[in-house]
Homo-oligomer: A and B are copies of this chain.
Amino acid sequence: MSSKDDPKLQARRSFLTRAAGVAAAAAGSVISPAHAHAPAVGEGVAHGRHPENDIESFWGSHQAGIATPQQRNVYFAAFDLTTSERADVIELMRSWTSAAARLTVGAPALPINPDPEAPPDDSGEAQGLAAHRLTITFGFGSGLFVKDGVDRFGLNQWRPEAFIDLPRFPGDQLVAQRTGGDLCVQACADDPQVAFHAVRQLARLGSKVAQIRWAQAGFLSIDKHQPSPRNLMGFKDGTMNVPTANAVQMSQHVWVGEEGGWMKDGSYLVARPIRIALEHWDRMKLAFQEQVVGRHKLSGAPLGKTREADPIDLDAVDGDGNPVIPENSHVRLAAPASNEGAQILRRGYSYDNGLSFIAERWPPWHQGMEFDAGLLFMCYQNDPRTGFVKIFEKLSRFDMMNQFVTPVGGGMFACPRGAAGGEYVGQHLLEHA
């Protein structure tokens, strides 16, 4: 058998050419951006497997996956650290940074070791798939600073003031197994297997010092003629969001400034799976649904307006002098004008986890298997105190939507600035003087 026909050699060649774009720097544990962006060579690329427009750059002053136009799929995971050594956390973030740089260009998590007597370094289910705009965004939970009263890694002195613990909100029914985490990974891609694959490789790379705690996949459906996705309530979601292309507004609401120290150019993520009682919602009259949301269901226009992009007129009244947009409607309570200008960058996904047994708390008091589905709410902001917490304190008390939605888990994570050449994500915190 010639080497041309040896399947093992063929396999190796293909894996190697696939990784060609980053191969030059692959020997080190951190890939520099210059290398990652070097022109790729080899048959994998010649065959068009990695068109540039399928790749979102991992490197930069901001982590990708925040301002990045939203992909179709997310796999979100939170991890608990099982080590008490800061050096282990440094090594973890170093290896995760390196792997993320490789994965986001469509390469395997590690350079392939062709030894058949070793476990494959990459589980392989994304082999042959394009990068699909994969972004991997890392965040730190409060447990990195203090857990059970202990400053485990000597980092608590650098915990930013803005990084508060999320308060308990009315209506929260947080399940421990879906809540918290010392670290988080948000993997977004235009393919669900690519997103899952990324987190799976990171979980494995970190398995000696980090245990995966909870995870949630999600999806978002956009078509050419439906640029605003609809959530599972059937309403358009994402209208009136912070415009990611507007640097001024991103600075104002999303990116942390100088005051944040090592968090400068980072952002705080609040991620909460929120179950929606779909069967209950579906029994509501159209007019009531629209009153709850404050928008027309089909067009997405604010009540009393005709187009999705029309501004919300909170002062409009009907012939009887009643507000056109109800006092306790979702859009009114969430509007910047109702929250002293507070705005957050929403970046959520719908989820479905099959069915679970539900005892309804409303007529007809049905009990049985119902859809375990809803919204993986995710939002980014430069200060949660004046962002999510400020807005949600009001929403959690007064929003008519609350009778249909239940936060069941989640947490807050500090997503540091992006990595530049030779750096790893989180270096400015973990190697603080």
Residues of A whose CB lies within 8 Å of any CB of B are: 5-8, 10-11, 14-15, 47-49, 75, 115-120, 122-130, 177, 191-194, 196, 200, 203-204, 207, 211-217, 219, 221, 223-226, 230-235, 278-279, 281-287, 289-290, 296-299, 301, 305-306, 350, 352-355, 357, 368-371, 373
Cβ contact within 8 Å between A352 and B196: yes
User: What are the 9 closest A-B residue pairs judged by CB atoms, nearest first?
Assistant: A124-B234, A128-B226, A11-B298, A116-B287, A193-B221, A192-B219, A125-B230, A215-B354, A7-B296
Per the bound structure, the CA–CA distance linking A373 and B8 in Å amounts to: 28
Query: How far, in Å, is A191 (CB) from chain B's closest CB?
Result: 5
A221 touches B200 (CB 8 A): no
Complex contact A225–B287 (CB within 8 A): no
Query: Is there an interface contact between B193 and A219, defined as CB atoms closer than 8 Å?
Result: yes
Q: A120-B297, A128-B223, A212-B370 are in contact. List 18 more A-B contacts (CB 8 A).
A: A6-B306, A11-B297, A14-B299, A49-B223, A116-B285, A118-B286, A123-B234, A124-B233, A124-B234, A125-B230, A125-B231, A125-B234, A127-B234, A130-B223, A130-B225, A200-B282, A204-B279, A213-B355
Judge whether A128 and B278 touch: CB under 8 Å: no
Give Cα distance in the complex from A7 to B294, angstroms. 13
A215:B355 contact, CB within 8 angstroms: yes
A230: B residues at CB distance < 8 A: 124-128, 193
Nearest-neighbour CB distance to chain B for A313, whole angstroms, equals: 14
Contact B129 A223 (CB under 8 A): yes
Pairs A–B under 8 Å by Cβ, sample size 11: A49-B223, A117-B287, A123-B232, A123-B234, A126-B230, A127-B226, A129-B226, A192-B219, A193-B350, A203-B371, A217-B354
Most chain B CB within a 10 A radius of its CB, from A119, A204, A282:
A282
Give A284 to B194 CA distance when docked, in angstroms: 22
- Report the nearest B residue to A220, measured CB to CB: B193
- How many copies make up the complex? 2
* Bound complex: CA A290 to CA B127 (Å): 16
Instruction: List B contacts of A116 (CB < 8 A).
Output: 285-287, 290
Chain B: which residue is nearest A357 at the CB level? B177
Q: How far is the CB of A290 from chain B (nearest CB, A)?
A: 7
Contacts of A283 in B (CB 8 A): 119
Do B128 and A212 touch (CB < 8 A)? no
- Cβ distance A273 to chain B, nearest Cβ, rounded Å: 9
With A127-B230, A233-B125, A234-B127 in contact, do A285 and B196 touch (Cβ < 8 Å)? no
Residues of B with C-beta under 8 A to A297? 11, 120, 124
Q: Which residue of B lies closest to A351 (CB)?
A: B354
Least CB separation from A79: chain B residue: B369
CB-defined contacts of A282 to chain B, threshold 8 Å:
119-120, 123, 200, 204
Please, which residues of chain B bring their CB within 8 A of the CB of A5? Answer: 306
Q: Which residues in B have their C-beta under 8 angstroms from that of A305? A: 7
Closest chain B residue, CB of each to CB of A196: B352
A49 to B224, CA, bound (A): 8
What distance in Å separates the Cβ of A73 from its nearest Cβ neighbour in chain B?
8
Measured in the bound complex, the distance between the Cα atoms of B219 and A127 in whole Å is: 16
Query: Separation in Å of the A126 CB from the closest CB of chain B?
Result: 8
Residue of B nearest to A284 (CB): B119
Nearest residue, chain B, Cβ from A8: B296
CB-CB < 8 A to A216: which residues of B? 354
| Closest beta carbon of chain B to A229's beta carbon, Å | 8
Bound CA span A283–B208, Å = 13
- In the complex, how many angstroms separate the beta carbon of A299 from the nearest chain B beta carbon? 5
Nearest Cβ on chain B to A175's Cβ, whole angstroms: 12
Check if A298 sits within 8 Å of B124, measured CB to CB.
yes
Residues of B within 8 A of A193 (CB): 219, 221, 230, 350
CA distance A216 to B373 in the complex (A): 12
When the two chains form their complex, are residues B234 and A120 in contact, meaning their CB atoms are under 8 A apart?
Answer: yes
Chain B proximity of A113: nearest CB distance (Å): 9
Chain B nearest Cβ from A65, distance in angstroms: 19
A282 and B284 CA atoms in complex are apart in Å by 48
Partner of A115, one of B10, B47, B123, B286: B286
| B214 pairs with A355, CB closer than 8 A | yes
